[in-house]
Amino acid sequence: MAREKEESMQVSRRATRSSTFSANNNGIELGKPNDSYIPTLGDLVFGQEPISLDDLLSRFPGRRVQILELLRLLGTLNSSMPPLFVYGSASTGKTSIIIQVFRHLSRPFVYTSCLSCYSPRILFESILNQLLLHKKNAFNGYSSAKRCEKPSDFVIFVREALINVIDSLKENAEKTSTSKLKGQVNGKMIYLIFDNFELVREWDKSSSILPFLFGLSDILKMPEVGMIFISSTSPDTYHSNTGYVAPIHVYFPECTEDDLRQIFMRNQANQKLYSSFLDIVLRPFCRITKRVDELSTAFSLLFKRYCEPLSDLGVLPNGEMKRRLFSHLQPHIAPSLNEIFRVASQPCLECGVNQETRRKGGARKSVGSGDLDDIGFHMSTSAKYLLVSAFLASRNPATLDASLFDTTGVSDSRKRKRKASEKSLEQKEAAEQELLMKGPGTFSLERLLAIFQCITSVGEEEEGNDGLRVDEGSNALMSDILLQLTSLCNSNFIVKGGSCPLEGSTRYRSTLSEDLAIKVARSIKFPLSKYLYRR
């Protein structure tokens, strides 16, 4: 029961109607490829059974005000409406509530997300496809019903399509009023919903697409068409040179702590237990973020830990047990507060905690394979060396390379460090400031490869006769190394910058943070700190 509920919750939370729809249709197509499935107007309403108002309200705890406001603005059957602009930050339930409201009303609507329809043409064609009840499939070569790129063409096509749909809706309304068919399409209004509307601003800086979409209802002048724009940014972030008539704003505020409690209490098997858990964790976590999606990932892990001492999850906690559970959980809260945003799997978290305890105990031996998990991803040894050398190349000034990688150079740099006069301190501070502002420096490919060769040879020396040799002859591996470099670039560990104005070659830049670099270096037992120039 709870599982089923959860599933439906998940569907309503993220999955949009179009995705659930396409899943349905795929099922049909796969089952019977020659099925003569005739799309009807019913496709324009939500695919599942309509839900009652009470159900709708209970599905979204803490959103009662917003749901009622939406229902009021949408109004009674067949009442026209100016464009709505629904906004609120991420994970406040804008999209899912609107979709479910339409499910409740069972009125026809056309949903398009500007995230998946990432250009005007795709957006236009997606709207037209849905209005014309056109499904892309193998028979029509997955093509759209109409090809339309310009707003002017779109207006012509969409007007035609809307008139058709509205006519058939009117017919339908007359029919149902006589035969009293329930669960059918309601009313003769059709609503166009544009999700992720904030992305439209980026589409074309100079273009008129934003005022066009805002003014679409004025251009169409059809009272039977309602427009709803869903955006995660507030209306004052929409600028356009020509201006537009402001739509009616509906605001979805972030959930309060009480709302969050209600949301997390939903679908919990043991309400009492979970509530005592929330008593402990909700407040500190709320200070960091109020986003439901981030909180829920953090809580799911913590709750498992909370329940660890319990043998029976159905138990009703009393005061004494609550205290016991609390003292069990307490040491984990603070670290997880600082880890909240990691998408960590269970073993990873455990490993992190182990590390913590080990460090506290002072046992700081080289841990061998434990450190490999530390990075959290697998990577070949040469890639790690490459990463470390890129890090060094980004952090160290190029002029010091010779002295650092010379065998005698290491001690030199230490000597230089000792004598610090007033002036050099000031300089140091300025340099630090610059490092903070400018970030890691850039380097050329030649320098990277030179450092790479240096440190691999050092690594070989230090490893001695270890079986885990990096590369027998690093000269022979040059092409492989270049390949590795490309893959590191693709995974954003190293970014390609612009070309150097003097040399003309491409410059690279390492995005590795120092912590991660140290971890990587430790996993290949490379003495990174020896080679890192400290200002």
Q: Where do contacts with another protein occur on this chain (CB under 8 A)?
A: 53, 72-73, 75-76, 78-82, 87-90, 150-152, 155, 208, 211-212, 215, 218-219, 223, 232-237, 242-246, 248-249, 251, 253-254, 286-291, 294, 337-342, 433, 436-440, 495-498, 509, 511
Least separation in angstroms between residue 456's CB and another protein is 26
Nearer to another protein, 88 or 108 (CB): 88
Half-sphere exposure of 173 (CA within 13 A, CB side): 16
Least separation in angstroms between residue 274's CB and another protein is 22
Q: Enumerate residues 6+ apart whose C-beta is below 8 A from 146.
A: 125, 128, 132, 157
Least separation in angstroms between residue 373's CB and another protein is 18
As a whole number of angstroms, the distance between CA 67 and CA 56 comes to 8
Cβ(298)–Cβ(315) below 8 Å: no
- 509 strand-pairing partners: 442, 495
- H or E element in which residue 227 lies: strand 225-231
Q: How many residues does the chain have?
A: 535
Nearer to another protein, 236 or 461 (CB): 236
Least separation in angstroms between residue 40's CB and another protein is 27
As a whole number of angstroms, the distance between CA 313 and CA 266 comes to 17
The neighbour count for residue 293, using CB atoms within 10 Å, is 11
Using only C-alpha atoms, what is the Rg of the chain?
A: 30
Beta strands 494-499; 506-510: pairing state: antiparallel
User: Which residue reads 């700190």 in tokens?
Assistant: 529
Beta strands 190-195; 109-113: pairing state: parallel
Q: What DSSP assignment string belongs to 312-360?
A: -TTPPP-HHHHHHHHHHHHHHHHHHHTTTT----HHHHHHHHHHHHHHH
**Which 3 state secondary structure label does DSSP give 402?**
helix
Least separation in angstroms between residue 515's CB and another protein is 9
Cβ(435)–Cβ(535) below 8 Å: yes
Least separation in angstroms between residue 72's CB and another protein is 5
Least separation in angstroms between residue 275's CB and another protein is 21
